[in-house]
Every structure is written in structure tokens, then in C-alpha cells.
Structure 1
Amino acid sequence: MYLEFSLALFLFLLSVKVRTEEMAKGVIELDCRERYLAVQVHLNNGSEPHFKAIDTIGVHPITKEYGPGCGYTYELFCEIGIAELKASYFSCHTGNQGDVEFTFNFSVIMTDQHGEEATYAVSKACTLPLPWSPREVICEMDYMEVHVDGAVPHVSTGGTVMHQQWDDGISSAYTLASSGWQLIFLKEGQTSADLSLDEAREQGYRLHFTPGRVLLRMPYGKPLSHDSLVNGVPVEVVHAVLFSRQRWTVVIFDLVAACSKDVGFFDGTSLHWQVPIVMFPLSSHTDFETKNISIGVHGTLLDPQVTADRGYSLSTGKGMVDIGIPYGAEGGHRQSFVLNNTYWEFYLIYLYYEGVFMDSFHTENRHRHTKVLMTQSLPHVPITINQTVIEERAFTLYMGNFPSDVVLMTVTLNGHEFNLVEATQHGYTIVKAPHANGTHAYIIKVPFEDPMVLKSYFTEGVLQYLLSVNFTFNIMLQENYFFHLTSLKARIHDVYPPSFSGLCQEHGIVFKLAHEEFHHMWDITIGNNLLTEQYAVRQGYLMANDSQGILLDVPLFTPGYLYEDINLNQFFGTFEILSRDAKTLEIQQHSVKRCPFPTTELIECSTGGVMTVVASVVKSIPKADPQRTTLLDTTCKPKETDETRVLFEFDLTTCGTRMKVKNDLMIFENTIMFEQEPFPSHRPVITRDTTFRLAVQCSYPVEAVNMDVAFASSVPGRGSVGEARPYETALAKPIMLPAPEAVTTASVPITPRIKTPPTQRPAKFMRVHSHHSAKSQSSEPDYRRYKWRMIHS
């Protein structure tokens, strides 16, 4: 026999390229169990393996159809990435020495992800670790089997009849008995069927004689099997009587197998499976004794303390054993998948049950059952718990619970995606929190002040933080992705934008601000310009900024003032400081101070196209009369006068105002004039002396002016005042004049008379100081020059 086997193995090795068993280490593992050999194959992203059994006859592919009848069970454990072949010690192609030593030889064919096929030759010798019981019943996944001690057959001489079918079967055995072995199948309520061994084999029933055992094996659901109820539990039963006449005696083996068909149920927290303590088809008498009941997983029985630690329950009562497995308990597997971006999962466990009892003949019976228990697919929305503590100034989010095969890949914060490494580099805390039942959760922490967090002034006194979080998860081995979106909101109360207090001074306005915790949320601006120390210097402000607060001294006539209610006695200067949202630029707070100031000399160019001028006219020689002054259009007279000054206010499109464009500026110019009394007609005098004239001018950027309907400028104009040329006589009709060459001018933005939106900052007035020159010795009239000191922006 050894030579035959060696020849078969040699021919097989010649036919394929086989890798050695040494090469299979780490890929294929073989383990001798109590009643079978387990061949475990690690899938390693490849396809499912195929198995072939090798014996003295040849090579035998183990298929789904062939395996159950020969004692082979194939199971695929996707959740742990393992395929397992279980080969019974009495499987068809196993070497057997005295029912104690068993030799297995297989070839394992695997195909990797590149489509390349590899064949591994593996072998294993197993020694029986636990002696055989006189009768053992195995309820495997695909088949049921019973084997009894062949040395102690049940010899019937017309003994006690246990039920009618048994009596009929025994009668038929005595009648039909011959020197050859025959089978009679008993079915409750039906006439017994007698078959030869070949006929039984054709119907899927295999009978084996080993050195010391007689075995019958068959797949589930065969025609000669039948269903029964034992203590309310459905049971599949096969009752076969094997007999043969030997001289004057009929040798009978009672081969009966019964397996629970209970599919189990899930009560929302635990999986339950029931099995009768004793299958009455296995014992026709009720006087039996239970010796031991044990449970385990994956073909291995567990110590009672281990089962208790895992939360398994095993209770007996009314002839029943009820086994409970908590959802997610150790030893089982939670399997998840994605359907329509919904996370689903189910829990399954490969339960192993053994019951040992003594029947009425004091014979030990060992009953083993392998059962897969599984919940239905459960839609599962991950639990999100907002654990944010406002005082910590950070969002804290708990996301769970996930089985071990689900991993977090990326986190998207308000539209910005980060993998876990990038998230850590950006200062976010992401922690994986494992749980005792094998699941885990993720805890992410994001500071309120992080750039990814949206901050807004929700309503008066309430600061709001918003964070949208999108998690991307992956189911390992499947490379199946799904997403979960959640949002977090936090509000802090009694938060107000910076508000300055103002104090009127003789030289201008002084503002004060005390720093508070959340003031950094807002920008402080003058118009559209951010208030910084550099900007303050350019504008002529005096600014002090330290950890306690801000002190801002704004002198009169510096940029940013709004001037109103102008008359020859006084005017009001208003200065506004804005607090705006740093991101949205939305204005949240106006700090406004309005103060009265005495009027000296000034000019204003508004965005509405109105020029306002206060000027002194009595320092000329000859002395000008303020009430007799006009503009180029002599019908335009002062709005207000006193002994020395005039106040003109006119639209830039009226009063003879002339316009020209120069260097991207639109310049509007007019002249304040005083005509002397004409000489008497009888005293004609030829002279080159002219009347008093003072040029006033407003300039605007060309791109800022719109004159489609009425004058409008997006920015205030710049005003200037200077001496008009002697040859520039008053004309009622406006004409374009060249810029005065002998005039010293400067310009600053001045505040319009009408208030403009915050984006259009008011123009600034220009203060004018006058002084006269020495009297001219010429015979011609002497003209006084006016020098205007301007305060630049």
C-alpha cells in the first residue's frame, strides 16, 4: 500500500509544478483537533483556494458536491481572511492506522491577485487525542455522521421491542439477512426501506468500516432522512440498521443520527440556539444520565470559566439546552459592509457544541454539533456624541462604535480634507478608543480658534463656532468606503465687539479701548483701512497699544473726520472707529464721537460734488468787502459772511466752475472774486491792477467719478486753495484754465457734508492760514498772496 501511495504522489508531483511545504509556511497552517484536521489558508488578497486529496488511488478534487459525502467541510471566514478545510479522521482519503494514527496529504491550489497559480503540497499526521466513545454523532455544516464501536455490535435475538418501526426493522433484518451487509432505513410512520450498500451509496449514504469502527455518513436532506420534533425543537433524523447473517447469528448495528435544525434567533442583544439535551432517537429510553455539556467556537471546546468571561450563557431545563451569545462577544465576528453609503453590519459565530450522556445500556454517547449563528443585517448609523466643553475652547467629538475591520481614513473639516498624518501635523487630536467587546471609536479634538472653524457673531453678545466634519471610513479587506457627515456648534455668550470711548479735546478727539478676551475676533478699522501702528503714523494719529488696551489720539483735520453744520462760528467734527468681523468683513460695532470745533478757514470736497469754502478776504490791498465777493458766476454769492470771512457752498457743476482732466484726476476749479468800485467816467485811469481773486479747487480720481445723471464720487475729493493769476478775469461762462503755476497747493481727503456708507470714507477739511506780504512799491495795485497750510493724509 505504501508503494501504491508513493507512486500516486510521485505521478501527481510530475503533473504540476508544486511548491514545497516549507514554502507554504505563513500561508497554510495545519492543526490536529480532537476529531478532525483543520487546514487553514490565509487569503492574502488572493482568490479562494482549491483542495485536492491524495491517496494510494490518486488525486481527488474536493468539491462542494463531493466533500460532504467524504467527510470534508469547507468554510470561508471572510471577516478574518481565512479559508478552512476540515477533514474528518474518517474522511475518504485519509490513512488510518488502528483508528489512532491518521495521515493526510493534500495539494492546495491558490491564485494570487495577478492571476498566477501556485500549488502547495502539504501533509500532516495526527494522533487521536481523546479516545472514541462507543457511539459518536457528528452534526457538521454540510453532513451528519454516526459511527459506533465495531467490536461490540448489537446482537438481536428478539429482545425488547422499543417501538413499532424498530420491531418491523428487526423482523426484516432477520428475514433478509444474508452473509452480505445490508441496510434498512426506518422512517417514523412509513414502511422500512432495505438497500444494499451500493444502492445506499447511490442515494448519498456512505458506509465505512475502519479497523475498529462502523460509520455511516450522509448530507442533510436526503430522501431516507426524516424530520421530527424533540421537546419542540425540529430535528433531522437518519435511522439505519446495518445487519449481516454470520452463521446462526444476525449481527446488527443500530446507526442512528439526529441533528438539531434550530436556526437560532436574535433577541436584540444576544443570539440564541437550542438543542435537546438528548435526542430521543439516539436513546429510546428516558432513563439516561447527562455527563457533560460544553460549548466552544471554531471546533474547539472552551473552559467553563472562559465561556463565562465572554458572557456566553448555557442553561438547561425541560430537556432543552439554550445557548446565548451576546452580540459582539469575543469568539464571534462583526461583519460590516456598505450599501447606498449606509453602514450595515451583522454578527456571526461558529458555535461548537458537545453533549455527553449515558443511555439505558450504560453506553457513553458523544453528540457534537457545529452551527453558524448569525444576526440579520442591521443598518447602523455611527454614534456621534458632542463632548465639547466650552471652557476648553475646543470641539471634542466622539464617533463610534465600529468593528475591528473598519478604519478611519480621512477627516474633512469644513471642506478641507486631511489624512490622519496631516491632521496630526495641523494640530488636531485624533485618538482611537478601543472597547472591551472588540469595537472601537474615534475621538477628534479641534480648537475653536483653528482656521478651519467658522466663527461668526451670531447675534448681539453671542459668538458662534461652527465645524462641519465628514469622516471617510474603509472596511479592510473589502476596500469599501463610506462617509459620515456631522456638524458641531458652540456658542459663547456675553461676547461683544471692541467699543471705544471718545473724549473731545481742543486739538481733536482721544479714543480709549480696554482689551478683552475675544477682541481678537474683530478687526479695528478706520473706514476700510486696518488700524495698525504703521497706518496711524501715516495718517498723523498718535497710537499706543499694549496688553491692557489701545489709546488713539486723532488730531483735527487728519483723515477720517466727518464735518457737519459748518458756519463761520463753529462746525462739528465726527470721527468713527469700526469693529468688523475678521473673515466676513461685516461691520459689528460703530464707535462714534462728535465734537464741536471753532471755525477758522477750511475747504471741503464732498462725494456728492459740493464744495464748501471758508476763507478770509480782508487781508488784500485794497481791502475787499466780504459781502461783495462772488464766484466766477457773479450771481453766486456767499452763503454767510462776517467782517473778514466768507462761506461759499456750491455744486461743482454750477457757479461757473471749470473742469479739466490731468494725470488721471478730474479737477474742478472756481475763483472767489471781489470787484473794486469803478473809477468815475470823468477820471479815466489806465492801470494793470486787478480785482481780488482766490482760486479754489477740488480734484477727484477719474475712475471714481460718475456723472451720468448727477455728480457722484466713490471717494471724497481733495481740496486746494491758492492765489488766482492776475490775468484770470471773471467770466460768467465756464472755461478750462491751465493750473496756476505760482500757487503753492497741497491736498488732503476731506469729509463730505452728507454721510456716506462705511466703504466711502469722508474727506478731510484743509485748514487755511493767511499772512500778507510787504506793500508793493509799484504804481500798480499790490496783490496779496495767500499760503495755505495743508494737513496731508
Structure 2
Amino acid sequence: MLLLSQVRSLHVWGVEQKDGGLRSECLWNIMRLTLDEALAVGSQLEIAAINGTDIIPLSPTLAAQCGYSMDSDPWGNTKVFVSLLGCYVDNQADETFNLGLRFQMYGDGLSKKVQRDVTETCSYSRWASREILYFQVAISIHGFTVHLDPGGIWKMTFHTPDSKVMVLKDAHRAGYGAMTTPTRLVLRSPYNMPETYAEEVAGVPMEVFSVSTYYKQVRRLAIIVAAAACPTGGLVFTDEVITWYVPRRIPPLISSAFKILETHMGIDGQRLDKTMMAIRRYKLSITESHVVIELPVGSPDGYYKSHAPDYSYHITYTVEPMLELLWRAEDTQADTRYKVLFPITTPLMPRPPHVTEIPEQKVFNVLLGTFLHDVSLLNITFTTGVLTVTECNARGFDFQEHRFANSSKTFSLQVPFSDEVVLKHNPNPLTTVYFLPLVFGLLILPEQIPFPHPAELEASLEDVVLPTTTGFCDQDNFYISVKYGSQGDNFQIMMLHAGSWRELDTELYSLTDNNTHVSIVVPYTAPDTVFEAVQSDSIRARVDLLLLETPNMWQLNDLSLACNFPLTMTECYPNGTVTALAVKVESVRNLNPKYLTLSDQSCKPVFSNDRFAFFSFNLNSCGTTRTFFDNVMVYENEIAMHHSMGKHQSRKGLINPDYRHTVSCYYLVNDTETMAFRTRPRNSDPKADPGVGQLVVQMRLAQEVSYDIFYQTEDYPVVKYLQQPLYFEVELMRSTDPRIALVLENCWATLHEDRTTLPSWDLIVDRCENLDDRYIVFYPVVADARVHIPAHVKRFSVKMFTFTTDETVLKEQIFVHCDADLCDTTKPDGICSGQCASPLRNAKPLKPTDISQHRISSGPIILSDSSNFV
């Protein structure tokens, strides 16, 4: 609104009143009323002027004509500006002004209409000769002194710059205001009227209102020419500062030299002193061509507002500075007060929300922001659906809103990886990639403008626990246990069969699944086992198992379990019959056992399959040879794949067509003597005298001094720490004759299996512990459930520090050997008198001829210390 007036006197003072959310202030030539958000939010506001007993509603057109202006921010904080020279103001000689306004509020948030009446008295007498006032859409110009009659205005000529004439009635109808006060002529024009025009001054666009008013007086006609020019631009924006340029010299208002007397800067019509400007970091300066005001973006006198064009988050900052100038023309000495209230809103500033992931084990910890206080989060869209904020917290997603001192806010959300809204996949066997797509449903208040913000969160963790496999054996089966990993049963169990992997046949093997483990029992003769080696009394079999993840075909784990199983390969019977078993071992994978023969190729297996060939023959047939050694007769034959059999099978692809397995039988040969005998009646029952046979002596290594548990053949080599003793037991096997005693003649240790190699360490010498070594201990043997004849058993221990080389304790593999004597206790002598019966070492007694000596050795024992043994 454009407001023009002519005044003479100069003086001002102001009063502030407060009434329940309403505040009124006299600010020089205007009055400002402020309505708090708490009173106006959510309601519609109507303002009426109180003119005595009349209540005049102020429509936008009437307000512009009469010097009223209203502005509200989005939250309902309302400012009403009233010119002291406005309509319906009780004007006392242009010095004292009584104003009355009625505020009426109604809406959904109010149960009934709320009405407030405000009255204010302002005093202002420091009028300049001409005053130009521009607030929002209003400019006020005051001119020179005349004697005015309230009914004297005849017509008005508007210069656009072409002339356009209107009588007062037509001017009012067009929206212009024209009135007189006791000493002044007041003219007003709304902004952007047809009779105003644009003009650029010093690079600043301005709106110009120029009018000549014809005023009737007694016997004469007076013409008052008035002009006003208000800036509509002149703004420069950066991210930190708003710069407002106003021309220093405005040609429509100044035609001669002038002098600036006062410059003031203010906010919302209120002047600011230099101290407050410094605190707010406002700057006011004058250049050769401009008056310049600088305002920092974000000053507390303005406010930020959120926007979402095209669903993209932006903000603006709005502030309403005031510039007030007072200058004096040098030719007429007339003063002009030029006041502009200029609301400024920055261009849209993009502020895309940032989604920050805060690392936390097994949880997506999301921080979304930063937003202004007028943004609210309504809901979040997950892959499974939409959840409100309340539903998120009820589900265990920790949602919080964080407010800061500058009124900004952020939102935080925690979603555990284990929830179904989190997608996951494994790029490799050990890594899990967790993926959480989100759409945050945001809302701008109070306009209720929704805008979504999508986000995609991703985290990778090496958190996969792979399944593990363990196994053991008994005399007949492999026992395999598969423990599930963190992915459950996401694998297939594969068995190696004939060199290739195939899925485990659940019908062939016994399987037990308890949701945490799978237990499998595999007979050592099963098709999926392989035979590594055979010995005379055992076979070494192996099973290979693979855990395969599908569909990626990742090998999660494997197990290769090999054990020795008891199996008699050759049996020699007293009647001269021999049975022999030939086995297809891994090293001859292409062997077909049915084509194996004995030395006589006509002697074929009596039974065969793809893994075994079983022979049964007489020692006098099939090309069996016989050899004598001392009192032993040895029969030998050979099971082999002979080249002449090639015509029966394809030899293409055979790795090694030669297969040989020697079958040996050992028989003791008796001496034959001629003797005479005669019969006579017997006086007593016949009795059996000792005959010729074999006595077996074995050496075993016990796990503890109790001698209850012993290491088995498959346990070798046995690993022992240096601080652990070795507990040995030597026993006469399969004998119940109490007349036989076992005596250890000599025991020693070597680094190799050959008992004659060096270096060697003496343990027992001449049936007694080595006197040079204090680490040998004999243990007494008593009868128990296992030992029936204590004389058949000898026990001793060796501490590891016995084995030294160059005064350094040995940490290598050793073998222990002993010479054991068996003697007849019914014929006591130096040997059968007991272990270490005579401590004299000088004279070694001669052994009787009936003494039987046996040589025995242990399996390999590895000496280690705990610091380097893994």
C-alpha cells in the first residue's frame, strides 16, 4: 500500500502494551500489534477497526486504502502495522493518535469464536516535511504545509508517466486512498496498481507512484505534486549473507543536491542501535551510489521454513529489515523521511537429508537429518510394509527424535540385522551383506505437505560360522558328526565315491538329525570309503566328506577320516588249507579284483567284487613254494594281476596294471627221534607234559601311571611333553602257566626303528635300572581283573630328561627296545630270581638253555615341549 502525506511538526514517543498474547507498540509514525502463535495457531483471523461505536471490518482492499497491513508466518505469529495517519484513527492535531482494533479468531481448534479488542494511544509530532512509508504493500509520502479542508480534494492526475485523471470518487473506487488531516494530505496506493510504473535506479528495480492532487480552496485551486518510489529488488544472496542495496539518490524523489541527515536500520519496523546491530552482526554502510544493509542468514530476527518441491527437501530464510533515511534538500531545505519495511525470503536452498550409518554390531543404527523444527516423521516404509513411528518402537526398532538448541532436529532409528525387514545375502562363504531399503515418510507443518526420502543401508560382516565336522572309529564303523553353523542346514553332505563327489545316500547310511547336529554312521566297507593300505591283521580305510553350499557351490568344510580296522588278510590252517584276501587299495584305483590270480593263473578267486578278491587253496597247489629256515617251514604264493589276463579286460587307462600281494604261512618243524616203548598198567591218570609252541611278549605304552589305558596302534606316533614320564608295560601274552616268569634283560632307546642304530640311551642294563640315569623307576605289579599272573608283567617309567644330546634335552622321535627273558620259576637261578635281584654288574651269569629270549620294541614317540607343540 502506498501512503502519501504532507506534515510540518517533528516529534515521536512510543508505548508498549501486552494483553494475553497481544502486544502493541508505537514505532514512530506507525503502530505495530503482534499476535502470538499460541493465540492464533490453527484458527482464522479477522480484523476490524473500532471507530467510536462503529466496527468496520478491514478487507484487503480497504486495509490497503486506509493504511493497514498484516503479515503472518506459517505458525500463526501475526504482525499488524497501522499508519498513524490511517483511516479510523482518532487524530488529535497530528500529534496524538488513538487507535482501536478488534481481533476475532475462529476455526476447528476453537470451541467458539474468540474476540479481543485492543486500543492504543501513540504520540508522534516529529513529522518531516515529506514522509514516504513503505511497509509490505504500503508507501506513505508527506508533503508541504497548506491549509486543508477535509472536503477540498477535487481530482487526481496520475503520471504513469502518461497522465490519467480521476475524480476523488473514482480514485477511491480504483483502490487508492486520499484524505486530509488537520495539517496534512495523505495519499495511498496499493502495490502494482495500473497507475504505478517500474523504473530502475542505480541497478535497483523500483515501483514509482507519482500524482498531482487538485485541491479546492476559497477563490483559488491548489495543486500538490507528490511522488514515491519503493524498491522491489536490489538483493544479493549467498549461503551466509543477504545483501540489500537501496539507491542513495532516487531521481523521482530528489531533483537537486541533498544531504543525508540520519540513517537507521531496524527489524520489523523497530530501530536497532549500534550495540544490537553488532550483536546480530548486521551491517549498514553507505557507498557513492547505494545504502547497503548486510544480514547474516539465520539471524534470530528471522525464521527458517521447510519446503519440498518435487519431493526434494529445501529450506528458506525470511527476515524483514527496515531502512530509514532522513535527508534535506539544499535548495528548499525541506526534509524527507524515507522508511521502507522490506520482507526478504531467500531462494530455495537445497538441504538433502543425510542418512548416516553408525557402526554397531548386528544393528543398523541410522541417523537422518538435519531438518528444521517444522518437519515431522510420520511413518517408515520397509520391504514388508509401512510402519508408523509408534509401531516401529513396538516392534523393537528404537526410533527417537533429537532436538537441538538451534531448533533443528534429527531422527534416529535402530533396526537389528535379525529382523525380517532386513534383506541379506552371502557374497562368499564367510561374509554376510545386510541390506535395508527404507522410505522415510516426512511431513512439513503446518501446511501438511508430505515428502518421502528413500534410503538404502548396507553393511558387511564376516559373521558366518561355518559348519564343523568331527569323527572317530570303532572296529567296524566311521562315526561322523556335523555341527550346524550360523546358516543352519544350508548345505549338502557330499561323499567321495570313485574319485568324484556325490550326494550322501540317506538310505544307505544311518543318519540322525537333532537340528544342531547331523550324525552319520558309515561302515568301513561302505562303497564311499577307500582303502589306503593293508597289513596282515588290519586294513586302513578312509572316508572323505564335503559340505557343499548350494546354489553357489561353495565348499564350507571337509573331513578326511582314516582309521585302522581289524581284518585278517591270511589264515593258515593246520590241514594245509590257506585263505587269503586281496584288497583294491587307493593306489591302484583301476584294478578289477576279479582278474587277480595266484601264481598259477588258473587259480582264481572263489569270490570277488569291485573291491575284494577271496582265495582259498591248498599249500600243495596253485604254484605255492616252500622254504625252510632253521626250524620254520615257510609256504609262499603270490596274488597278482598278470599281463596275460589282459585279453579279458581293457587295459586302456590303467595307472599301474601290476598288482602283487604275497601270501605267507609259517609252520614250526618238529625233530623226529626213534624210541622204544612198552605198555604197562598205569598207576595214575595221564598228564600232559609241556610241548613245543610259541609264547608272545608285547610292549605297550600306558597313558597314565595307573596302567589302565594304553595307546593303540593307530595312535602312533604318540606325542609327549618333556615334563611327562613314559609308562611302559611288557607282558607275556596268552599264557596261564604260573611257572613262567618274565624278566627284562636290557632296555634302550634309539632315534630310529632299527634297534642297532646310534645314538642310543640305556634304560635297563642287566635287569636293573641304569645307574647313570636317575629317571628310571620300576613299579610293582599286583593281580587284578586284567593281570592274573603278576610274574608275567613288568612295568617301568622313563622321564623325558633321560634323553639328552650334548647336555641338551632331546626333542625328536624315539623308539624304545627291550630284550625280555622267559624262565622257569621251578628252577631258580640268577635270572629267575626276580627283576634286578643282584645289583652286581660285574659278573653276568650264563643263561640256562631253557631260557627263551624275546626282542620287543615300541612304536615311534615324539618328544616335544608345550611351547612349540600345536
TM-score after normalising by structure 1 = 0.55
Query: Relative to 1, partners in 2 of residues 1:463 and 1:234: Cα closer, same or farther, differing over 3 Å?
Result: closer
What amino acid is aligned across from residue 58 of structure 2 in structure 1? I
Alignment partners' CA distance in 2, 1:478 and 1:425: 29
* Deviation at residue 276 of structure 1 after TM alignment: 1.7
CA RMSD between the two structures = 5.6
Moved more, 332-341 or 396-405: 332-341
C-alpha offsets along residues 150-184 of structure 1, whole Å, 9 cap, x if unaligned? xx7279xxxxxxxxxxxxxxxxx9xxx99955677
Alignment partners' CA distance in 2, 1:109 and 1:542: 79
Partner of 2:24: 31
Partner of 1:237: 208
User: Secondary structure at 2:64's aligned position in 1?
Assistant: helix
Alignment partners' CA distance in 2, 1:244 and 1:590: 107
Partner of 2:186: 215
Query: Are the aligned partners of 1:499 and 1:579 in contact in 2 as well (CA < 8 Å)?
Result: no
Residue in structure 2 matching 1:66, options 62, 67, 73: 62
User: Secondary structure at 2:258's aligned position in 1?
Assistant: coil
Query: Relative to 1, partners in 2 of residues 1:508 and 1:329: Cα closer, same or farther, differing over 3 Å?
Result: farther
* Deviation at residue 92 of structure 1 after TM alignment: 1.0
C-alpha offsets along residues 329-386 of structure 1, whole Å, 9 cap, x if unaligned? 54334433445544454443334332233443555532221223334456x4623254
Whether 1:135 and 2:106 are equivalent positions in the alignment is no
Query: Relative to 1, partners in 2 of residues 1:413 and 1:572: Cα closer, same or farther, differing over 3 Å?
Result: farther
Partner of 1:295: 266
Alignment partners' CA distance in 1, 2:362 and 2:273: 51
Partner of 2:529: 564
Query: Are the aligned partners of 1:272 and 1:323 in contact in 2 as well (CA < 8 Å)?
Result: yes
Query: Are the aligned partners of 1:541 and 1:555 in contact in 2 as well (CA < 8 Å)?
Result: yes
Query: Relative to 1, partners in 2 of residues 1:97 and 1:403: Cα closer, same or farther, differing over 3 Å?
Result: same
* Deviation at residue 471 of structure 1 after TM alignment: 1.6
Alignment partners' CA distance in 1, 2:453 and 2:301: 29
Residue in structure 2 matching 1:590, options 518, 537, 557: 557
Alignment partners' CA distance in 1, 2:440 and 2:207: 49
* Deviation at residue 122 of structure 1 after TM alignment: 1.5
Partner of 2:115: 120
Alignment partners' CA distance in 2, 1:542 and 1:190: 101
What amino acid is aligned across from residue 353 of structure 1 in structure 2? L
User: Secondary structure at 1:288's aligned position in 2?
Assistant: strand
Alignment partners' CA distance in 2, 1:314 and 1:646: 115
Asked which structure has the greater RCO (Cα within 8 Å, sep 6+), the reply is 1
What amino acid is aligned across from residue 61 of structure 1 in structure 2? P
Identity of aligned residues (%): 20
Alignment partners' CA distance in 2, 1:195 and 1:525: 92
Moved more, 34-43 or 90-99: 34-43
Alignment partners' CA distance in 2, 1:200 and 1:44: 35
Query: Are the aligned partners of 1:273 and 1:322 in contact in 2 as well (CA < 8 Å)?
Result: yes
What amino acid is aligned across from residue 206 of structure 2 in structure 1? V
Whether 1:442 and 2:414 are equivalent positions in the alignment is no
Partner of 1:758: none
Partner of 1:489: 458
* Deviation at residue 309 of structure 1 after TM alignment: 5.0
Query: Are the aligned partners of 2:152 and 2:217 in contact in 1 as well (CA < 8 Å)?
Result: no
Whether 1:276 and 2:247 are equivalent positions in the alignment is yes
Query: Are the aligned partners of 2:468 and 2:485 in contact in 1 as well (CA < 8 Å)?
Result: no
* Deviation at residue 68 of structure 1 after TM alignment: 0.5
Alignment partners' CA distance in 2, 1:645 and 1:111: 112
Partner of 1:4: none
Partner of 2:142: 147
C-alpha offsets along residues 415-444 of structure 1, whole Å, 9 cap, x if unaligned? 465544555566655555556765433344
Query: Are the aligned partners of 2:154 and 2:168 in contact in 1 as well (CA < 8 Å)?
Result: yes
Larger radius of gyration: 2
* Deviation at residue 217 of structure 1 after TM alignment: 1.9
* Deviation at residue 135 of structure 1 after TM alignment: 3.4
Moved more, 259-268 or 194-203: 194-203
Partner of 1:366: 337
C-alpha offsets along residues 72-92 of structure 1, whole Å, 9 cap, x if unaligned? 223343x22345443322221
Query: Relative to 1, partners in 2 of residues 1:307 and 1:599: Cα closer, same or farther, differing over 3 Å?
Result: farther
Whether 1:90 and 2:65 are equivalent positions in the alignment is no
C-alpha offsets along residues 44-88 of structure 1, whole Å, 9 cap, x if unaligned? 6645333332324733232222221111223343x2234544332
Alignment partners' CA distance in 2, 1:553 and 1:410: 45
Query: Are the aligned partners of 2:204 and 2:247 in contact in 1 as well (CA < 8 Å)?
Result: yes
C-alpha offsets along residues 477-513 of structure 1, whole Å, 9 cap, x if unaligned? 2233222121122334697735557677767668899
What amino acid is aligned across from residue 60 of structure 1 in structure 2? I
Query: Are the aligned partners of 1:510 and 1:553 in contact in 2 as well (CA < 8 Å)?
Result: no
Moved more, 247-256 or 58-67: 247-256
Whether 1:55 and 2:51 are equivalent positions in the alignment is yes
Residue in structure 1 matching 2:433, options 449, 460, 464: 464
Bigger fraction of residues in strand = 2
Query: Relative to 1, partners in 2 of residues 1:145 and 1:589: Cα closer, same or farther, differing over 3 Å?
Result: same
Query: Relative to 1, partners in 2 of residues 1:428 and 1:123: Cα closer, same or farther, differing over 3 Å?
Result: same
Query: Relative to 1, partners in 2 of residues 1:276 and 1:553: Cα closer, same or farther, differing over 3 Å?
Result: closer
Alignment partners' CA distance in 2, 1:644 and 1:129: 134
Query: Are the aligned partners of 2:323 and 2:341 in contact in 1 as well (CA < 8 Å)?
Result: yes
Residue in structure 2 matching 1:405, options 337, 349, 374: 374
Alignment partners' CA distance in 2, 1:646 and 1:569: 20
* Deviation at residue 459 of structure 1 after TM alignment: 1.8
Alignment partners' CA distance in 1, 2:520 and 2:109: 81
Whether 1:75 and 2:71 are equivalent positions in the alignment is yes
Query: Are the aligned partners of 2:366 and 2:413 in contact in 1 as well (CA < 8 Å)?
Result: yes
What amino acid is aligned across from residue 383 of structure 1 in structure 2? P
Alignment partners' CA distance in 1, 2:485 and 2:279: 56
Pairing 1:527-546 to 2, within 5 Å after superposition: none
What amino acid is aligned across from residue 145 of structure 2 in structure 1? P
C-alpha offsets along residues 388-432 of structure 1, whole Å, 9 cap, x if unaligned? 447x66544443232221122334555465544555566655555
Query: Relative to 1, partners in 2 of residues 1:268 and 1:197: Cα closer, same or farther, differing over 3 Å?
Result: same
Moved more, 326-335 or 465-474: 326-335
What amino acid is aligned across from residue 153 of structure 1 in structure 2? T
User: Secondary structure at 1:80's aligned position in 2?
Assistant: coil
Query: Relative to 1, partners in 2 of residues 1:512 and 1:368: Cα closer, same or farther, differing over 3 Å?
Result: farther
Partner of 1:708: none
Alignment partners' CA distance in 2, 1:255 and 1:186: 10
* Deviation at residue 39 of structure 1 after TM alignment: 5.5
Query: Relative to 1, partners in 2 of residues 1:485 and 1:527: Cα closer, same or farther, differing over 3 Å?
Result: same
Query: Relative to 1, partners in 2 of residues 1:503 and 1:599: Cα closer, same or farther, differing over 3 Å?
Result: closer
Alignment partners' CA distance in 2, 1:558 and 1:306: 95
Query: Relative to 1, partners in 2 of residues 1:68 and 1:247: Cα closer, same or farther, differing over 3 Å?
Result: closer
TM-score after normalising by structure 2 = 0.51
Alignment partners' CA distance in 1, 2:278 and 2:474: 86
Alignment partners' CA distance in 1, 2:235 and 2:434: 50
Query: Relative to 1, partners in 2 of residues 1:105 and 1:247: Cα closer, same or farther, differing over 3 Å?
Result: closer
Partner of 1:761: none
Query: Relative to 1, partners in 2 of residues 1:290 and 1:29: Cα closer, same or farther, differing over 3 Å?
Result: same
Query: Relative to 1, partners in 2 of residues 1:257 and 1:436: Cα closer, same or farther, differing over 3 Å?
Result: farther
User: Secondary structure at 2:253's aligned position in 1?
Assistant: coil
Whether 1:480 and 2:444 are equivalent positions in the alignment is no
Alignment partners' CA distance in 2, 1:403 and 1:114: 24
Alignment partners' CA distance in 1, 2:262 and 2:542: 105
Query: Are the aligned partners of 2:71 and 2:80 in contact in 1 as well (CA < 8 Å)?
Result: yes
